[in-house]
Amino acid sequence: MQNVILLGATSNISKYLIPMLLKETNVHLTLFARNANKRLAQFNDNSRITLFDGNWNELEDLKHAIAGQDIVYLATGHFVEANQNVVQAMKQKKVSRLIVAGGLGIYDEVAGKFGQWNARMMGDYTIIKQAAAVIDNSGLNYTFFRMTWLYNQDGNYNYQVVPQGQPMKGTQVTRQAVAKLITDIVKQPTLYVKQSIGVVEPNTEWDKPSFY
């Protein structure tokens, strides 16, 4: 049985990811969040789940939680200090497989009118780019998701992976689909190792997402 930890287990993607991993895999999950025992109380009696009250800005919390894990999922890759702490904790505890949910545009790869719209909406990317560079340069077996604009749609698990260096044109993707991609990687951990991948919904190459 693999041990998988979700750092940021109360995130909007984790809401779909937790039940999917429980249904489609036999992993043991550690759900790491501030006040996890209260915010994730519905999982208190699940034998395949451990709740961990922690803060990813506290290195000691991360070291205790990450020890013994096989795969680490980080719910957002936008914070420099948190990324540095996660990388340091993983190296100290000899855990190498990392999946990070991040955003598009860190390589100025968003194309066309959508790229112009995205740049207006996002503003200054400096900190986000610095945070992503921590993962890129970590030496870990990471997969960094450059997710396009997120929305919810039950039953829509369609995703397309855009390799680094190719322009991103897809304007949206569901959180359910991102959860499916994470689950696919948990099932086959060699997928997309040491890659920063764009994550889009097929056939959404518009000027902006449909929900704007």
pLDDT value at residue 90? 98
Q: Residue 111's pLDDT is what?
A: 85
pLDDT at 74: 98
pLDDT of amino acid 1: 86
Q: pLDDT at position 141, please?
A: 98
- Per-residue pLDDT tens for 107-122? 999 989 999 999 999 9
Give me the pLDDT at residue 64, please. 98
Walk along the chain (212 residues) and give the pLDDT tens digit of each residue. 899 999 999 999 999 999 999 999 999 999 999 999 999 999 999 999 999 999 999 999 999 999 999 999 999 999 999 999 999 999 999 999 999 999 999 999 998 999 999 999 999 989 999 999 999 999 999 999 999 999 999 999 999 999 999 999 999 999 999 999 999 999 999 999 999 999 999 999 999 999 99
Residues 6+ apart with CB under 8 A from 151: 172, 173, 174, 175, 209, 211
pTM value is: 0.97
Identify the CATH assignment for 3-200 out of 3.90.1720.10, 3.40.720.10, 3.40.190.10, 3.40.50.720: 3.40.50.720
Q: What is the pLDDT of residue 203?
A: 98
In the Cβ-directed half-sphere of 125, how many Cα atoms lie within 13 Å? 17
* Residue-level pLDDT at 11: 97
* Domain residue extents for the chain: 3-200
